[in-house]
């Protein structure tokens, strides 16, 4: 497995990162351990989790994924071999993260979050601590193709980025985290964090975890230049568009046991014209005699600005396909065909 440098750090991460958000609901602890065993056998060294997980978020399963990751690390005694990433929630009215009150990106809440995560993960530190989503009001994913009414309404008590960043500086100094990353963030947000760090306020952001796939290439619009010039690594999540790019939901199908069937949380990928795009991309994959899931995963891995692609699976066969995407020989003809289709389809699912 090829390793790539994370931002300007000395950390080398595998070009595939194992996502974990289904563990604790769709997957048991034993299944999570089995997935981590297989991924690490295949050269993966990078795990991504969050205090919010498992998905869908609810109080009775919150933190379950971190606990499963922690029990695996303890059992395998391999903490030194794992690049471990987790996340703190942004502003949310859901009160179960902070013991009965809403959460914000302020000192008390961030310290509460990291201490609980470290306990669940059974470790003294995390390598990459990410802000799961901004505290300010912003469209989910922070990179819409259309923003609607503007200027956006702002919360009167919005926490300044500088205030939040200063807390992460204290976490680094305390040895609880090594590096800071963002997630679901815009180019403005990334640059504001970088600007504050240049002024000496806190640690420099090393990564941004945003969605990137055939039906959402908004990262290329302007964040790609930020990532390139500022050495901020893209950790691309949802390479299969929550499973829609596998073709299993084509023509309204709802397979038994699939995430959208179970939880009805596919709204991000059920936007106008999205259904046509999924059929077109799965047909394109088959024209190259390739499994649609393999084709979609290989596309993400072979874009030059992607440091690591965060894969997810609920079964070992799915995981094997996702890992196999690192072995695909991506050709100029494949890229040209994808770009041609994207020019016609655009980004229906940002």
Question: CA 91, CA 52: separation in Å to the nearest integer?
Answer: 12
Q: Quote the pLDDT of residue 163.
A: 97
CB contact at 8 A, 21 and 312: yes
The pTM assigned to this predicted structure is 0.96
Q: Are strands 46-48 and 126-131 parallel, antiparallel or unpaired?
A: unpaired
Other CB atoms within 10 A of residue 35 CB: 27
The CA-based dihedral angle spanning residues 149, 161, 7, 347, taken in that order and rounded to the nearest 10 degrees = -10
Known catalytic residues are 53
Other CB atoms within 10 A of residue 260 CB: 19
CB contact at 8 A, 223 and 208: yes
Question: CA 159, CA 133: separation in Å to the nearest integer?
Answer: 13
In order along its 350 residues, the chain shows pLDDT tens digits of: 999 999 999 999 999 999 999 999 999 999 999 999 999 999 999 999 999 999 999 999 999 999 999 999 999 999 999 999 999 999 999 999 999 999 999 999 999 999 999 999 999 999 999 999 999 988 888 888 888 767 678 899 999 999 999 999 999 999 999 999 999 999 999 999 999 999 999 999 999 999 999 999 999 998 999 999 999 999 999 999 999 999 999 998 898 888 888 888 889 999 999 999 999 999 999 999 999 999 999 999 999 999 999 999 999 999 999 999 999 999 999 999 999 999 999 999 99
Identify the H or E element spanning 318: helix 316-324
CATH of domain 3-243+297-328: 3.20.20.100
Beta carbons within 8 Å of 108's beta carbon, 6+ residues apart = none
Identify the H or E element spanning 250: none
Question: CA 207, CA 209: separation in Å to the nearest integer?
Answer: 7
CB contact at 8 A, 217 and 241: no
Residue with tokens 């399963």: 61
Other CB atoms within 10 A of residue 221 CB: 13
By percentage, how much of the chain surpasses pLDDT 70? 99
103 sits in the region (left: phi over 0; alpha: psi -120 to 50; else beta) called: beta
Question: CA 36, CA 33: separation in Å to the nearest integer?
Answer: 5
Question: CA 240, CA 286: separation in Å to the nearest integer?
Answer: 15
Sign of the Cα torsion 321, 324, 329, 335 reads: positive
Tokens of 95: 């009160």
pLDDT in tens, 223-243: 999 999 999 999 999 999 999
Q: What is the separation of C-alpha 268 from the centre of its chain, rounded to a whole number of angstroms?
A: 15
Q: Quote the pLDDT of residue 145.
A: 87
Q: Quote the pLDDT of residue 152.
A: 75
**Domain chopping of the chain, boundaries:** 3-243+297-328
Q: Quote the pLDDT of residue 222.
A: 85
Cα 318 to Cα 292, 298, 325, distances in angstroms: 12, 14, 11
Sign of the Cα torsion 274, 278, 279, 285 reads: positive
**Phi, psi (5° rounding) for residue 168?**
-65, -30
Crossing angle for the helix pair 292-301 and 274-287, nearest 10 degrees? 90
CB contact at 8 A, 85 and 49: yes
Q: What is the DSSP string of 177-239?
A: EEEEEEES--HHHHHHHHHHHHTTSSPPEEEEEEE-BTTB-GGGTTHHHHHHHHT-EEEEE-T
Tokens of 125: 């530190």
Q: Quote the pLDDT of residue 186.
A: 96
**Phi, psi (5° rounding) for residue 195?**
-65, -45
């Amino acid at each position: 497995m090829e390793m790539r440098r994370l931002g300007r750090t000395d950390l080398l991460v595998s070009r595939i990162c194992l996502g974990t958000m289904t563990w604790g609901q769709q997957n048991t602890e034993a299944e999570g351990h089995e997935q981590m065993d297989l991924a690490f056998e295949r050269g993966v060294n990078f795990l991504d989790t969050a205090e919010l997980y498992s998905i869908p978020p609810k109080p009775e399963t919150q933190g379950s994924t971190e606990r499963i990751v922690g029990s695996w690390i303890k059992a395998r005694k391999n903490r030194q071999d794992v690049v471990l990433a987790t996340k703190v929630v942004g502003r949310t009215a859901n009160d179960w993260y902070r013991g009965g009150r809403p959460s914000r990106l302020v000192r008390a809440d961030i310290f509460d979050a990291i201490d609980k995560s470290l306990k669940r993960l059974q470790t003294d530190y995390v390598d990459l601590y990410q802000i799961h989503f901004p505290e300010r009001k912003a469209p989910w994913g922070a990179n819409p193709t259309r923003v609607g009414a503007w200027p956006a309404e702002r919360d009167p008590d919005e926490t300044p980025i500088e205030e939040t960043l200063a807390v992460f500086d204290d976490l680094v100094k305390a040895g609880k985290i090594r590096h800071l990353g963002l997630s679901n963030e815009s180019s403005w947000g990334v640059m504001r964090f970088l600007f504050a760090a240049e002024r000496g306020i806190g640690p420099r952001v090393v990564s941004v975890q945003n969605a990137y796939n055939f039906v959402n290439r908004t990262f290329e619009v302007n964040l790609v230049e930020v990532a390139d010039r500022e050495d901020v690594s893209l950790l691309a999540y949802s390479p299969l568009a929550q499973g829609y790019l596998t073709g299993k939901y084509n023509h309204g199908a709802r397979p038994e046991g699939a995430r959208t069937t179970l939880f009805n949380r596919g709204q991000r990928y059920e936007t106008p014209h999205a259904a046509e795009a999924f059929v077109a991309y799965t047909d394109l994959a088959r024209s190259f005699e390739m499994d649609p899931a393999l084709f979609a995963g290989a596309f993400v891995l072979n874009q030059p600005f992607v440091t690591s692609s965060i894969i997810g699976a609920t079964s070992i066969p799915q995981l094997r396909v996702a890992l196999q995407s690192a072995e695909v020989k991506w050709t100029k003809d494949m890229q040209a065909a994808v770009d041609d289709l994207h020019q016609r389809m655009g980004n229906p699912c940002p």
